[in-house]
């Protein structure tokens, strides 16, 4: 008899998940951060070269015409349009979709907790993440290290001064499973070192960690700034717990022209890789032209956090129905 109709998580786990969701909502209500809902379907999408949106067709009744819509990979663009319309602090618990990403810690459909705080600086937002982790998920305070010091500590390389060749050599030397003829750009090698060497070490040390001041080339939608040594860095952070990447926070880029350039550079890269170019979100760009307030924002993978808080090891153990049995 087939058992594939059954949930992939225990009912008791799902009830605890429901309690976490209620507690998260309470946490934000107490801070006057209000809950918003934004469209899952959009005519535009993020351009990031390694982020693949699901697409679907909209067909008005009675016509053969169809229009491509993208399923959101995060509610970021819509939420920023609300911020530009003076929403103030907002949060969302949203279902988001990323094509192709399936594994123990990945699901093509997952739940994102995303919030924006116009009155907080990025360090203050890290403080707030810390309080959320402690109050709701009973996870201990998180220490903070810069991207540069993490690589210095674990790998003895200075990621801002060393050549691409040094980083590549370091990766090939330390990661035995890499084919010798692997071709990657600088960020690709850095990401491999993070995933294969640094994350397992962080997991072994049971040390929740905020990593901040990323290389400028990994700025995504964060502002650039100079770090204390004068290096150009992206003003963003990532949160790692038990070696699992959990959250991504930005001092949000406000400059519409700069964002348009980043989108176009992404599309250029997509073209080189024979990937479809993505229509730019002109509504977002217009909202930013109108004026986005100074703000900090963070997106947190809620399924992963609940998985860790409940001592589970697979996303499917905290989702009612995993992607394979959806």
Interface with other proteins (CB under 8 A): 48, 50-51, 100-106, 175-179, 182, 184, 187-188, 191-192, 194-196, 218, 220, 238, 245, 248
CB 101 → other proteins: shortest distance, Å? Answer: 6
Nearer to other proteins, 64 or 177 (CB): 177
Helix, strand, or coil here: 255? coil
Phi, psi of 196, deg, nearest 5:
-90, -30
Q: What is the closest distance, in whole angstroms, from the C-beta atom of residue 178 to other proteins in the complex? A: 5
CB 292 within 8 A of CB 85: no
Nearest distance, CB of residue 159 and other proteins, angstroms: 15
Nearest approach in angstroms of CB 106 to other proteins is: 5
DSSP code, position 28: H
- Residue with Cβ nearer other proteins (244 or 254): 244
Q: Among 147, 193, 203, which Cα is nearest to 167's?
A: 193
Whichever of 102 and 121 has its CB closer to other proteins, that residue is: 102
Q: Which is nearer to other proteins, 89 or 247 (CB)?
A: 247
The nearest distance, CB 214 to other proteins, in angstroms, is 11
At closest approach, how far in Å is the CB of 46 from other proteins?
8
| Cα 78 to chain centroid, rounded | 16
**Are the C-beta atoms of 255 and 289 separated by less than 8 Å?**
no
* Cβ-based nearer residue to other proteins, 175 or 207: 175
Q: Backbone phi, then psi, for 106, in 5-degree steps?
A: -130, 145
Residue 94, SS3? strand
Give the phi and the psi of residue 300 in degrees, each rounded to 5: -125, 130
CB-count burial class (<10 Å; 0-12, 13-18, 19+) for 297:
buried
Rg (CA), the chain: 20
Nearer to other proteins, 3 or 273 (CB): 273
């Amino acid at each position: 008899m087939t058992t594939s109709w059954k949930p992939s998580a225990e009912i008791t786990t799902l009830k605890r998940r429901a309690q976490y969701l209620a507690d998260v909502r309470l946490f934000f209500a107490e801070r006057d951060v209000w809950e918003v809902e934004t469209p899952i379907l959009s005519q535009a999408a993020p351009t990031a070269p390694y982020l693949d949106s699901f697409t679907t067709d909209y067909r008005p009744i009675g016509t053969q015409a169809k229009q491509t819509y993208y399923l959101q990979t995060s509610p970021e663009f819509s939420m920023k349009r609300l911020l530009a319309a003076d929403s103030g602090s907002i949060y969302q618990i949203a279902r988001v979709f990323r094509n192709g990403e399936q594994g123990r810690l990945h699901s093509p459909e997952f739940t994102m907790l995303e919030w924006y705080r116009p009155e907080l600086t990025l360090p203050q937002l890290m403080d707030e993440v810390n309080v959320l982790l402690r109050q709701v998920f009973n996870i201990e305070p998180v220490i903070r290290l810069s991207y540069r010091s993490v690589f210095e500590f674990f790998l003895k390389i200075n990621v801002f001064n060393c050549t691409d060749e040094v980083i590549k050599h370091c990766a090939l030397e330390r990661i035995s499973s890499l084919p010798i003829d692997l071709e990657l750009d600088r960020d690709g090698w850095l990401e491999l070192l993070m995933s294969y060497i640094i994350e397992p070490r962080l997991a072994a040390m049971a040390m929740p960690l905020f990593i901040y001041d990323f290389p400028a080339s990994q700025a995504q939608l964060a502002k650039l700034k100079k770090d204390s040594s004068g290096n150009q860095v992206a003003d963003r952070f990532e949160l790692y717990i038990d070696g699992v990447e959990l959250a991504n926070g930005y001092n949000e880029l406000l400059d519409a022209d700069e964002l348009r350039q980043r989108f176009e550079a992404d599309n250029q890269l997509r073209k080189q890789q024979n990937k479809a170019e993505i229509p730019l979100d002109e509504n977002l760009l217009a909202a930013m032209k109108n004026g986005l307030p100074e703000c900090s924002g963070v997106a947190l993978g809620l399924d992963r956090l609940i998985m860790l808080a409940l001592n589970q090891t697979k996303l499917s153990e905290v989702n009612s129905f995993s992607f394979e049995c959806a």
